[in-house]
A and B are shown apart, each in its own frame.
Chain A
Amino acid sequence: MTDAFGPLPAVTEPAGSAAQPMLDEQDNLGPVTPGLPDFSGSLTPSGNLRRRQLISGFAGGVQTVAAVLAVAVLAIVVYSVVARGASVLSWHFLTQDPPLIAGEAGGGIAPEIVGTVVIVALATAIAMPLGILIALYLTEFAGRWPASAFKLALDLLNGLPSIVIGLFVFGLLVVGQHQSGFAASVAIAIIMLPLIARATQEVLLLVPASLREAADALGVARWRTVRGVVLPTARGGILTATVLAVARGAGETAPLILLSSLFGNTVSVNPFGNEGLANIPYYIFTSSESAEANGFARAWGAASVLLAFILVASVVARIANSRSTLSR
Chain B
Amino acid sequence: MRPADPSEAADPGAPNVRRRVRINTGGPAPGTPVAPNGAPTETSRGLPAAARRSSALTFGREAIFDVRDLDVYYGSSQAIGGVTMQIHRNLVTAIIGPSGCGKTTFLRSLNRMNDSVPGFRIDGTILYHGHDIYGGEVDAVEVRRRIGMVFQRPNPFPKSIYDNVAWAPRNLKMRDGLDERVERALRAAALWDEVKDRLHQSALGLSGGQQQRLCIARAIAIEPDVLLLDEPASALDPIATTLIEELMQTLKNRYTIVIVTHNMQQAARVAERTAFFSLDVSNGRRTGVLVEYDDTEVMFTQPADRRTSDYVTGRFG
Contact = CB atoms under 8 A, between A and B. Distances in A.
A43 B139 contact: yes
Contacts of A41: 129
Contact of A49 (B45, B142, B188, B225): B142
A46 B142 contact: yes
Interface string B119-156: 00000000011110101011101110110000000000
A32 interface: yes
Interface in A37-59: 37, 39-49, 52-53
B253 A23 contact: yes
A8 interface: yes
A159 interface: no
B250 A29 contact: yes
Interface residues of B, number: 38
B172 A47 contact: yes
B253 A44 contact: no
A43 B253 contact: no
B225 A39 contact: yes
A26 interface: yes
A27 B223 contact: no
Given A8-B60, A9-B60, A36-B223, A29 B254 contact: yes
A3 B60 CA distance: 11
Contacts of A4: 45
Interface in A174-192: none
B250 A48 contact: no
A30 B135 CA distance: 34
Contact of A37 (B54, B145, B181): B145
Interface string A1-34: 1011100110100011000100100111110110
Nearest to A24: B16
A49 B250 contact: no
Which size bracket describes the interface of A in this complex? Answer: 20 to 34
Contacts of A48: 172-173
B184 interface: yes
At the interface, is chain A mostly helix, strand, loop or mixed?
A: loop
Interface string B71-111: 00000000000000000010000000000000000000000
A57 to B, nearest CB: 12
B129 A27 contact: no
Contact of A20 (B142, B172, B251, B253): B253
Contacts of B181: 33
B174 interface: yes
Most chain A beta carbons < 10 A, residue from B45, B59, B60, B251:
B60
Nearest to B89: A15
Contact of A29 (B59, B141, B253): B253
At the interface, is chain B mostly helix, strand, loop or mixed?
A: loop
B187 A16 contact: no
Contact of A28 (B137, B142, B146, B187): B187
B60 A32 contact: no
B63 A1 contact: yes
Contacts of A30: 184
Contacts of A43: 128, 131, 133, 135, 137-139, 142-143, 146
Contact of A53 (B60, B61, B139, B250): B139
Contacts of B223: 32-33, 36
B194 interface: no
A48 B251 CA distance: 26
B70 to A, nearest CB: 17
Interface string B159-197: 000000000000111100000010010011000100000
Interface in B253-272: 253-254
Given A3-B54, A43-B128, A29 B62 contact: no
Nearest to B128: A43
B250 A27 contact: yes
Contacts of B130: 40
Contact of B139 (A9, A23, A49): A49
A74 to B, nearest CB: 29
B252 to A, nearest CB: 11
B175 to A, nearest CB: 11
B194 to A, nearest CB: 14
Contacts of B250: 26-29
Nearest to B251: A29
A29 B188 contact: yes
A44 B225 contact: no
Contacts of A26: 250
A16 B62 contact: yes
Contacts of A53: 139, 141
Contacts of A52: 141, 171
A16 B129 contact: yes
Given A1-B63, A29-B188, A32-B223, A45 B139 contact: yes
A228 to B, nearest CB: 42
B217 to A, nearest CB: 11
A49 B145 contact: yes
Interface in A95-130: none
Give the 9 A-B CB pairs with smallest separation, nearest first.
Answer: A28-B187, A40-B129, A39-B225, A43-B138, A11-B60, A15-B62, A28-B188, A45-B139, A30-B184
Interface of A: 1, 3-5, 8-9, 11, 15-16, 20, 23, 26-30, 32-33, 36-37, 39-49, 52-53
18 contacts: A5-B54, A8-B60, A26-B250, A28-B184, A29-B251, A29-B253, A33-B223, A39-B146, A40-B130, A42-B131, A43-B131, A43-B133, A43-B137, A43-B146, A44-B142, A45-B141, A46-B145, A52-B171
Given A11-B60, A32-B223, A44-B138, 8 more contacts: A23-B253, A29-B250, A30-B184, A39-B146, A43-B142, A44-B142, A46-B145, A47-B172
